[in-house]
Chains A and B, each alone.
Chain A
Amino acid sequence: MTEREYNSCVNLYADNVYRFILKNLRNEEDAKDVVQSAFEKLWVTREQVVNEKSKSYLFTIAYHQMIDFIRKQKRIYLKDEFGEMAMGSGNIHHNAKRILDEALGKLSETQRSLVMLKDYEGYNYAEIGEITGLNESQVKVYLHRARLQLKAYIVKVENVI
């Protein structure tokens, strides 16, 4: 990967990686730090990286950096399950999104990462497995469990409302 390809990589994927990390960590500064360190590592190892695989390589780095960061900092902010459920009836779409975000926050880091890599980035099971270090069957099982948990949370909240 050349200098130009690296900078192009910044333009193309910095937002995606930032969204991925920010949704996981829920802290902007921490997310920026992780993204910066991920790109720094990409820059250092750019000679071994093929440009076509730079995105998945970048997400792999970012994912592992994030896991390391979580283990060190333990700074995931979990909100109360129903703490902010006093929502109005007008903005249903906004509420649905917020409920989904809350439900996402209830998942483990691995499950949350799998859901985001699948939905946001559109990776298949095999690619997600390469990024997260899991095999394809594990990805499938974890992802399906995550979906069912999300569904159960959404149903539960709607029943309360």
Chain B
Amino acid sequence: MNINLDNYESFFLLYVDNELSAAERKSVEEFLGNYPYLQQEMDLFKETVLPVEENSFAFKAGLLKPVMPEELLQENLLLHLDNELAGEQKHHLENLLLKDDKLQKEWALLKRTKLETNEKVVFPDKSMLYRHERGKLVVGRFVRWAVAAAVIGAGIFVGINFLNNNVGVPPELTVKTDQPGPPGVPSTAEAPTNNTAVVAGTAGQNVEQSLSSTPAVAALVKETTHVSRNNNIQKDAPGSKQDMVTSNRQKTAIEKPVERNQRERMVEKTESGTREMARIEKPGTNDSRNSMVVASVKNKPVVLEDINIQPVENLFARNASFDADENSDDHIFMMDEDKVSRTKAAGFLKKIKRTVERTTKIKPGNSLKIAGFEFAVK
């Protein structure tokens, strides 16, 4: 830095404006020591610098904004009323409430808009709102019971109808053998099984053939089989495999008077024949075969040494028929119910079952249809 009498003014101005470094300021001060008459000029420059005035703005308070604007204050009051204000804000607001009367009035007014929680309103009848799951089950059970009752009722109805249609059917003429006779011994009939009734009809022809060797017996058998055949002809008229009971039911109403006369005649003849048979019986020769042979008709004495004739215990003659062909369904068993070993209830149920099976044409063992419902049978 080279300060001299030509450029000292600029250095003096920089010195006054405080724009020189410490070394430069020292150089300026050394220059003033060498030329003291320039000190007065330096002082003039210093006097041009404006002094710092400590003057404060008198209306500063009026220019300041409030710490919490009124809108924000009201929102905070509402949040505080709803208990939704956060911790620090809540604390600040509570402090403001303590200080500001106007704010307290506003808060009191807002608190009046809050509903009273202790107001009790009771629902009149809560029992109508209760629900129970069991109720549905009861309904389900009831429906099931109703269906079961309907099925049972239908079964009883069918059974009663069946019985009503079969009331009045008289027992048929039957001739009973306890055991089948030996092949070589002539007998009235050889039943395929033990305790099987000999019936007129197809089997009756065999009886007639077997007894034809004895004239008296042949006469009785001829008459008996004739009546029975007539009866069977009437019964077997359809010639199908339909149940004889069913066909009887259908025909009974039509042929009842005629059939009854025939049956009465058969009973009378059978009774007379039975009396004759009892008369010629030899009680001491009770052979195990127990073959029965009709001996005589109309007081014709017949001597049959090889044959034991047993009296038929029944007052009512019994009639049954069998077919030699086991595959045929044309079996008839019309037996006196008093002598059946099974109970009445079992017989009744069996009749119902048989009727249902045949009317619905189902194979037993697979399923059973009753009144439109099909039930699986185990």
Q: Which residues of A contact B (CB under 8 A)?
A: 3, 6-7, 10-11, 14-15, 17-19, 22-23, 28, 32, 35-36, 39, 43, 96-97, 100, 103-104, 115-116, 118-120, 122, 124-125, 140, 143-144, 147-148, 150-151, 154-155
Contacts and interface: CB of A to CB of B under 8 A. Distances in A.
Given A14-B123, A32-B124, A36-B128, A147 B84 contact: no
A22 B124 CA distance: 12
Determine which residue in B116, B123, B128 has the highest number of CB atoms from chain A within 10 A of its CB, and name it: B123
Interface in B75-129: 75, 78-79, 81-82, 84, 109-110, 112-117, 119-124, 126, 128-129
B126 to A, nearest CB: 5
Contacts of A154: 109, 112-113
A51 to B, nearest CB: 15
A108 to B, nearest CB: 16
B131 interface: yes
B123 A119 contact: no
Contact of A3 (B78, B79, B133): B133
A151 B105 CA distance: 12
A109 to B, nearest CB: 16
26 contacts: A3-B132, A7-B130, A7-B131, A10-B126, A10-B130, A11-B126, A14-B129, A15-B122, A15-B123, A19-B121, A32-B123, A32-B124, A35-B123, A115-B115, A116-B115, A119-B115, A120-B117, A120-B119, A122-B117, A124-B84, A125-B84, A143-B78, A144-B78, A151-B109, A151-B110, A154-B113
A97 B129 contact: no
Query: What does DSSP make chain B's interface, helix, strand, loop or mixed?
Result: loop
Query: What does DSSP make chain A's interface, helix, strand, loop or mixed?
Result: helix
A120 to B, nearest CB: 6
A115 B74 CA distance: 17
Given A10-B130, A144-B78, A18 B122 contact: yes
Interface of B: 74-75, 78-79, 81-82, 84, 109-110, 112-117, 119-124, 126, 128-133
Contacts of A15: 120-123
A112 to B, nearest CB: 10
B186 to A, nearest CB: 84
A10 B123 CA distance: 10
B129 A100 contact: no
Given A3-B132, A43-B131, A125-B84, A18 B121 contact: yes
A86 B7 CA distance: 99
Contacts of B78: 143-144, 147-148
A49 to B, nearest CB: 13
B131 A6 contact: yes
Given A125-B82, A143-B78, A151-B112, 6 more contacts: A19-B120, A32-B123, A104-B115, A119-B116, A120-B115, A143-B82
A6 B121 CA distance: 20
A3 B167 CA distance: 58
B283 to A, nearest CB: 83
Given A7-B130, A125-B84, A147 B113 contact: yes
A35 B121 CA distance: 13
Contact of A119 (B114, B122, B132): B114
Contacts of B124: 28, 32
Contacts of A155: 109
A14 B126 contact: yes
A103 B129 CA distance: 32
Contacts of B110: 147, 151
A41 to B, nearest CB: 12
Contacts of B116: 97, 119
Contacts of B75: 144
A22 B113 contact: no
Given A10-B126, A147-B78, A96 B112 contact: yes
A96 B114 CA distance: 11
